[in-house]
Structure 1
Amino acid sequence: MSYADRPWLARYAEGQPHDITPDFPDALSMFRAAVARNPDGDAIRYFDGALTYRELDELTDAFAAGLLAGGFTAGERVAMYLQNVPQFVLGLVGTWKAGGVAVSVNPMNRERELELLLRDSGSSVLVCLESLYDGVARTVLAGQPGVRTVLTTSEREFQTRDDPRALPGTARPDLSGDDVTDLGAFLGTHRGSTPPPVSFAAGDTAFLTYTSGTTGPPKGAMNTHGNVVFTSQAYATWCGLGDDEVVLGIAPLFHITGLIAHVTLAQYLAAPLVLFHRFEPSLGVDVIREHRPTLTVGAITVFIALMNAPNADREALASLRTICSGGAPIPPSTVTAFHEAFGLWIHNIYGLTETTSPSHATPIGTQGPVDSASGALSVGVPIYGTVVRILDDDGAELPPGEIGEICTSGPQVVAGYWGKPEETAHAFPTGELAQPELRTGDVGYMDADGWFYIVDRKKDQINAGGYKVWPREVEDVLYEHPAVREAAVVGVADEYRGETVKAFVSLRAGASATPEELIAFTRERMAAYKYPRQVELLDEVPKTVTGKVLRRELRARQQT
């Protein structure tokens, strides 16, 4: 039996096609169409500031012209180390206009993480918040000769009020002695210039988004222009979005959800994208009340936080019509509680960095079923043109109800990992479907009606509120502490984040360290979502006779 031949999609998305034909050949063409369609409409709203599509077009022209004047060539990479600010969108589109590839960098990354991403991507340009340059990037760039141009900018740009709940209260750092260029001055110098026309094939890489892989170190997924156009259009078609939408940018823009479900979806719709630097629940409610967005997509932790914000009520969130959530397991009770509080249903979606956001979604207006055995909410059904199979350890296809690895192929699956042909071949084998198929590493099943459920993860990755954490990376940092003899990291249940990071540590003979000291040690060296919230000291970390850490035994300790 081939899941590609099953007719269930028509039952759950009546009146919609099984496949969609992309409206644009590449993501830059999609942006240009938005400018032509809605030149004087808002492209970005940021606190009390706004940029129209015409203004964004002019600024991205200036960005591209400036890069090209500095010797930038087609195919080079531009790394963006930014929060949810207008400069992220400007840098993304401007990079495309210069013929380049954007690289999204998590603003929570510290020195070791930023250094790895810049080196792996070979980025020649870094667009960076002044605060992140001052606190992190300055040190890293001393050892990165490949980065020729550093453009710094402030969270205070493109708006007129400094909201103390979201924007840094400290003065802007003095960077006058550094070899950096202020982005505003850079744009001013080149404003009015028009870069030469550029076009992309569907298979050309639009941006690199970094994801932890089966061996631990981050890998750059090559999200193509064809991937981007397909998933942007798929969101709009699946959700039945119209001409009056306003997109709330609540997910981090560096993440594949923010890139597609916020930035490029807004451009596909020629709609405003509402940004507010960094998520804070009460501020989020205020922004919704002020800008009246109609749709958003985010991790379930965001909606839990909004539900518990002191200023949240039905009137504040009344403009929202479509809400989707993915990236972390969704408790069915939370969906019910959110609906009772605001009259809005949260629709589950599922996808990975390697699927350029959605591969599965719950049809809008439909509530997904709950697995009676595990209590897990279904992640939905495959979206347009997507073939999903459940395979056993030998690669054989399993029938409905049988648990195995979720494997996905379709227009959203990336071309592979940047500069890593062996990892690409392993994760995207070409089998009986005669096209690359992503081995997700997630374990689940499909029921008789075509609904999919995730019941476990094949990988040891930890999913902390939608952020993926690889245990080995945390362990490597713990091993830098002089008192640590052995370290093993696992994910443990957490009421708010779904899962959080816990470390089990044994100490060197004669050495001493408290759990609090070890937590503080890692917090100084890692992104905020990665460091362990819990540390337990053991005499010995349990291992097999061959020396392999028994992670399952450590997880079992939490249940006894």
Structure 2
Amino acid sequence: MTANSTRRLIDAPQTSLYTNLEVSSNRHPDKAAILYYGGMVSYRQLRSEADAMAGFLQQHCGVARGDRVVLYMQNSVQFVVAFYAVLRADAVVVPVNPMNRSSELQHILEDSGARVAFVGEELMEHVRTLPRGQLDHVIPARYADYLHEGIDLPLPDVLTSSCSQPLAEKIGGHAVVIGWNDALSRACAPREHESRPEDLACIPYTSGTTGRPKGCIHTHRSVMHSTVSCAKWPDLASESVMLCSVPLFHVTGMQNCMNMPIFIGATMAVTTRWDATCAAHLIERHRVSAWITVPTMLIDLLNLANVDKFDLSSIAYLSGGGAAMPQAVAQQIQQRWGIPYVEGYGLTETMAATHINPPKRSKPQCMGVPVFNTSSLVVDPETLEPLGEGETGEILVSGPQVFDGYWKSPDATREAFVLIDGKRYLRTGDLGYVDSDGYFFVVDRLKRMINASGYKVWPAEVEAMLFEHPAVQEACVIATLDPRRGESVKAVIVLRNGEHATEADIVSWARERMASYKVPRVVQFADSLPRTASGKIQWRLLQEEETRSRNARS
């Protein structure tokens, strides 16, 4: 069944993504583009620095059209400048998770062929251990260089500690290192901008949950369509002030918290690390009106002991994805702000959203409806036959934001797509269904189903119910081996501060609220759950640990 998307159409600009910064800097030269812990960068300054860094890349680093350049940094002014500098130089951005270490970075460098990298000062230790000849030029950055005196906000350690190593040096004799400020001071003028919509703009890498991370090929056209969709769907105005707390290397943050605000000429309040207290201060101080975030950050904010001391009334739009918003938390949001948490759905392969809930007609724990110019189907994962309303199958998507394929991986690219009625669809690997209103719901990942004596258990459903327990802050459901049933349900639970519960308490509570085959047979308590930098719970890590543990005991 296909949700009707023909009435949701837009025409995105047929230009390079960099043109958005050019347009906004011409319209709002003195307006704050970035607010950074009390400091301010205007649109004029942002464009000027991006242009100067682009010229440096071309003249001193030999970056040519189509070359890949790595961005290995946390959220910062430098990340935004570097991103647009690479685009201005007609090159391709390769964003790297700052949680990655040397071996992971090495894989992406080798796979992408990038020879130049922007690197956060605190991450230089992982660059220094790379094999000789891996990089030609490295431009390290101190995020604190953009701080101003008199800061009264809680700052992350990375902004208050100083690296003992000088920024400009040779790394093991195999790369030229020139500090950020030194590079800017060259005031190099870039060549004429030549990128077209069909040229490559960005190659973000998948999280690697199904093997080695793969690069997703995105053109200026695919990124632009996603950027415009992010703005037009909630109809955000240039007067918006947006809290940018999710990682910019990830497509959710990249699109919703950087590229989209620049497209509409809005202001970004950027944080390098997540801190709920700092976020509350920023919302109050800058009258933040829009926040695209993940449920865990909202949960942290609402659980602040002194949250009621802050004036957070400026928030007019809350949205996000990555994980379903627990219904109990959604109700708190509705009570506090009088607005819904607008849930959406997307992939690295689709440069963020393919589905978003209509802001005024949102459904809870729902991925929403297909966004502009996008079609979606639910099919039988084996036969690829389209399924009917309410039937669970694999979700497929087709639209301008869908990537061209995996970098240097033709086999994986062929497996990712399927033709149905002459249209090319991406196989998301997610299971879900569509209701009578055309809203899509994710049930779970295709390979995450628990088979308990033939009964299919979808972990996400059990997690959503566990969230309703008053002592449960977070939960992750995985499979545990069962000699009689094959598999049973195990819940790894983080309790709320000050709350107490035993395994028997959780099991007894669950038995009253869900079918017996869904009830966790094993409950493990943890201080925290492993997460990706984008906030998603790494259930696969917990599953692998559980499997190893069971095998060792058997």
The TM-score bracket by the shorter chain reads: 0.7 to 0.9
- With the length of structure 1 as denominator, give the TM-score of the two structures: 0.78
Q: Cα deviations across residues 179-223 of structure 1 (Å, max 9, x unaligned)?
A: 42111111111x2x3211223232222111111468411011112
Which structure 2 residues correspond to residues 230-249 of structure 1 after superposition, within 5 A?
A: 230-249=225-244
Name the SS for the 2:66 alignment partner.
Answer: coil
Instruction: Evaluate the alpha carbon distance shift between residue 249 and residue 214 of structure 1 in structure 2; reply closer, same or farther with a 3 A threshold.
Output: closer
Structure 1 stretches of 5 or more lacking a match?
11-16, 370-376, 472-489, 498-518, 544-560
Partner of 1:157: 145
Partner of 2:551: 540
* C-alpha distance in 2 between matches for 1:355 and 1:205: 14
Instruction: Check whether the contact 2:395–2:428 (CA below 8 A) recurs between aligned residues.
Output: yes
Residue 128 of structure 1: which of 116, 119, 129 is its match? 119
Instruction: Check whether the contact 1:431–1:437 (CA below 8 A) recurs between aligned residues.
Output: yes
Name the SS for the 2:147 alignment partner.
Answer: coil
Residue 68 of structure 1: which of 40, 58, 61 is its match? 58
Indicate whether 1:282 and 2:272 are aligned: no
> Pairwise CA RMSD of aligned residues?
3.2
* C-alpha distance in 2 between matches for 1:493 and 1:84: 30
Deviation at 1:367, TM superposition (A): 2.9
Partner of 1:447: 435
Instruction: Evaluate the alpha carbon distance shift between residue 367 and residue 493 of structure 1 in structure 2; reply closer, same or farther with a 3 A threshold.
Output: farther
Partner of 1:425: 414
Instruction: Check whether the contact 2:241–2:266 (CA below 8 A) recurs between aligned residues.
Output: yes
Residue 41 of structure 1: which of 22, 31, 34 is its match? 31
Tell me the amino acid that sits aligned with residue 349 of structure 2.
E
Partner of 1:374: none
Partner of 2:211: 216
Tell me the amino acid that sits aligned with residue 405 of structure 2.
G
Instruction: Check whether the contact 1:123–1:147 (CA below 8 A) recurs between aligned residues.
Output: yes
* C-alpha distance in 2 between matches for 1:326 and 1:406: 16
Instruction: Evaluate the alpha carbon distance shift between residue 273 and residue 538 of structure 1 in structure 2; reply closer, same or farther with a 3 A threshold.
Output: closer
Partner of 2:100: 109
Residue 8 of structure 2: which of 18, 26, 37 is its match? 18
Instruction: Check whether the contact 2:281–2:310 (CA below 8 A) recurs between aligned residues.
Output: no
* C-alpha distance in 2 between matches for 1:378 and 1:43: 32
Indicate whether 1:166 and 2:133 are aligned: no
Indicate whether 1:77 and 2:68 are aligned: yes
Deviation at 1:96, TM superposition (A): 0.8
180-189 or 305-314, which deviates more: 305-314
Partner of 1:298: 293
Instruction: Check whether the contact 1:119–1:144 (CA below 8 A) recurs between aligned residues.
Output: no
Indicate whether 1:181 and 2:178 are aligned: yes
Partner of 2:80: 89
Instruction: Evaluate the alpha carbon distance shift between residue 539 and residue 422 of structure 1 in structure 2; reply closer, same or farther with a 3 A threshold.
Output: closer
Name the SS for the 2:204 alignment partner.
Answer: strand
Instruction: Check whether the contact 1:108–1:528 (CA below 8 A) recurs between aligned residues.
Output: no
* C-alpha distance in 1 between matches for 2:37 and 2:124: 23
Instruction: Evaluate the alpha carbon distance shift between residue 92 and residue 495 of structure 1 in structure 2; reply closer, same or farther with a 3 A threshold.
Output: same
Instruction: Evaluate the alpha carbon distance shift between residue 492 and residue 151 of structure 1 in structure 2; reply closer, same or farther with a 3 A threshold.
Output: farther
Q: Cα deviations across residues 435-458 of structure 1 (Å, max 9, x unaligned)?
A: x31100000000111111111211
Residue 379 of structure 2: which of 358, 371, 391 is its match? 391
Deviation at 1:25, TM superposition (A): 2.1
Name the SS for the 2:18 alignment partner.
Answer: helix
* C-alpha distance in 2 between matches for 1:496 and 1:241: 37
Deviation at 1:80, TM superposition (A): 0.8
Name the SS for the 1:185 alignment partner.
Answer: helix
Name the SS for the 2:404 alignment partner.
Answer: coil
Partner of 2:370: 382
Partner of 2:2: 3
* C-alpha distance in 1 between matches for 2:209 and 2:122: 33
Q: Cα deviations across residues 511-547 of structure 1 (Å, max 9, x unaligned)?
A: xxxxxxxx9xx99xxx99769579557463699xxxx
Tell me the amino acid that sits aligned with residue 408 of structure 1.
V
* C-alpha distance in 1 between matches for 2:437 and 2:145: 50
Percent identity, please: 31
Instruction: Evaluate the alpha carbon distance shift between residue 36 and residue 328 of structure 1 in structure 2; reply closer, same or farther with a 3 A threshold.
Output: same
* C-alpha distance in 1 between matches for 2:352 and 2:212: 21
Instruction: Check whether the contact 1:43–1:272 (CA below 8 A) recurs between aligned residues.
Output: yes
Instruction: Evaluate the alpha carbon distance shift between residue 214 and residue 358 of structure 1 in structure 2; reply closer, same or farther with a 3 A threshold.
Output: same
Instruction: Check whether the contact 1:227–1:356 (CA below 8 A) recurs between aligned residues.
Output: yes
Partner of 1:53: 43
Instruction: Check whether the contact 1:166–1:276 (CA below 8 A) recurs between aligned residues.
Output: no
* C-alpha distance in 2 between matches for 1:312 and 1:416: 45
Instruction: Evaluate the alpha carbon distance shift between residue 282 and residue 221 of structure 1 in structure 2; reply closer, same or farther with a 3 A threshold.
Output: same
Structure 2 stretches of 5 or more lacking a match?
172-176, 450-458, 465-475, 479-488, 497-526
Instruction: Check whether the contact 2:315–2:337 (CA below 8 A) recurs between aligned residues.
Output: no
* C-alpha distance in 2 between matches for 1:395 and 1:431: 8
Which structure 2 residues correspond to residues 363-382 of structure 1 after superposition, within 5 A?
A: 363-368=358-363, 377-382=365-370
Instruction: Check whether the contact 2:258–2:268 (CA below 8 A) recurs between aligned residues.
Output: yes
Name the SS for the 1:211 alignment partner.
Answer: coil
* C-alpha distance in 2 between matches for 1:50 and 1:423: 44
* C-alpha distance in 1 between matches for 2:36 and 2:67: 29
* C-alpha distance in 2 between matches for 1:323 and 1:399: 32
* C-alpha distance in 2 between matches for 1:133 and 1:24: 38
Residue 348 of structure 1: which of 330, 343, 350 is its match? 343
* C-alpha distance in 2 between matches for 1:196 and 1:491: 58
Q: Cα deviations across residues 233-254 of structure 1 (Å, max 9, x unaligned)?
A: 1121110212311121111000
The number of aligned residues is 475
Instruction: Check whether the contact 1:40–1:54 (CA below 8 A) recurs between aligned residues.
Output: yes
Deviation at 1:110, TM superposition (A): 1.5
* C-alpha distance in 2 between matches for 1:396 and 1:203: 32
Name the SS for the 1:217 alignment partner.
Answer: coil
Tell me the amino acid that sits aligned with residue 79 of structure 2.
F
* C-alpha distance in 2 between matches for 1:541 and 1:21: 57
Residue 308 of structure 2: which of 307, 313, 316 is its match? 313
Name the SS for the 2:214 alignment partner.
Answer: strand
Partner of 2:250: 255
Instruction: Check whether the contact 2:169–2:178 (CA below 8 A) recurs between aligned residues.
Output: no
Tell me the amino acid that sits aligned with residue 406 of structure 1.
I
